[in-house]
Amino acid sequence: MNNGMEEFASLFKDRENPDLPDWTTGKVVQTSPLKIRVNENILLEQRKLVIPERLNGSFVKGDMVVLFPSQDYKRVYVADKVVM
């Protein structure tokens, strides 16, 4: 299986405008430990996620979230839950 973080990083690195802040959405597929699926190939694990204190522990399976990669693409910030 490919490294999910490497694939996630490549999604952003391959974009036309790398100077613009990039974001994506993901779906919570597991809550303990937290796992968020970006697409069929990318599954982000809790150890790579930066979660705001106000959201910590509030996720339920199926929640949609907004995600931002760190500048070095080693961590992913969970910005908020969204309704789609």
pLDDT single digits (tens) 8-39 = 777 666 654 444 458 999 999 999 999 999 99
Whether pTM exceeds 0.85:
no
**Token pair of 12 as six digits:** 């952003």
> What pLDDT shows up at residue 18?
47
For the domain spanning 4-82, the CATH number is 2.40.50.140
39: helix, strand or coil = coil
The domain ranges of the chain are: 4-82
What is the CB-side half-sphere exposure of residue 50 using CA atoms within 13 A? Answer: 10
Q: What CA–CA distance (Å, rounded) separates 56 from 14?
A: 31
